[in-house]
């Protein structure tokens, strides 16, 4: 009777539908759980991916900074290279000029050596004919620029080619109110001294040239 009433009222069918719905609900819950797990996994992967992207962006920023630094360093090195090229070019030009100067100096040295050989030959010839050339000693009492007659000696010594010694200066300056006798050997500068003495009397003492008489034993003097 109960079964008949259940079929008549549709209870069995409702129970069956309820059972099917429960089964579907369980499936949905399982799918929901699965989807939730996947969502959590995807969220975690997204977080990892985001951190990776942030890290990559940070690395990219650092690389960009390094790139700019390397570009600036390259520009500086290129400028240094150009400067070194210019210096090398200047040094090459200087080397060429110095090489030319060196060649000219060597040629001048050869010419001077040849001239020195000629002078040595002339000196040897002079020595064989006239004897050794004696150097004139420098004056122990030189004429100083503060002396009133220093200009005369300066000009005379330029003409003569060497300075007067103290005895010559004393003879040239000697006051001719008294007689002066000079005794000296051959080649000691007697002729130079007496010629300078005459010029000194005329220029510095204002002597009358017609009152001066010079005598010599040879025309060579």
- Give the separation between CA 174 and CA 182, rounded to whole angstroms: 11
CA distance 82 to 79: 5
pLDDT of residue 72: 92
> Which 3 state secondary structure label does DSSP give 134?
coil
Q: Tell me: the pLDDT tens digits for 178-214?
A: 777 787 888 888 888 888 999 999 998 898 999 988 8
Domain spans in the chain, listed from the N-terminal domain onward = 2-96, 150-211
Q: What is the pLDDT of residue 104?
A: 92
H or E element at residue 91: helix 11-130
State the Cα–Cα distance between residues 165 and 193, nearest whole angstrom: 10
Residues of the chain with pLDDT under 50: 130, 133-141
pTM: 0.36
């Amino acid at each position: 009777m109960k079964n008949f009433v259940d079929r008549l009222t549709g209870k069995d069918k409702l129970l069956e539908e309820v059972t099917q719905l429960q089964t579907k609900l369980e499936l949905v819950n399982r799918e929901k759980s699965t989807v939730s797990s996947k969502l959590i996994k995807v969220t975690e992967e997204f977080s990892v991916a985001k951190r990776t992207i942030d890290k990559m962006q940070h690395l990219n920023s650092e690389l960009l900074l390094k790139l700019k630094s390397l570009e600036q360093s390259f520009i500086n090195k290129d400028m240094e290279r150009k400067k070194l090229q210019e210096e090398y070019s200047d040094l090459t030009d200087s080397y060429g000029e110095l090489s030319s100067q060196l060649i000219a100096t060597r040629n001048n040295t050869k010419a001077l050596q040849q001239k020195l050989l000629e002078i040595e030959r002339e000196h040897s010839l002079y020595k064989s004919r006239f004897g050794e050339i004696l150097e004139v000693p420098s004056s122990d009492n030189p004429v100083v620029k503060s002396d009133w007659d220093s200009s005369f000696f300066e000009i005379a010594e330029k003409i003569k080619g060497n300075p007067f010694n103290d005895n010559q200066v004393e003879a040239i300056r000697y006051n001719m109110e008294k007689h002066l006798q000079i005794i000296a050997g051959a080649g000691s500068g007697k002729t130079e001294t007496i010629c300078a003495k005459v010029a000194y009397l005329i220029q510095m003492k204002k002597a009358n040239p017609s009152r001066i008489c010079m005598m010599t034993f040879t025309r060579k003097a």
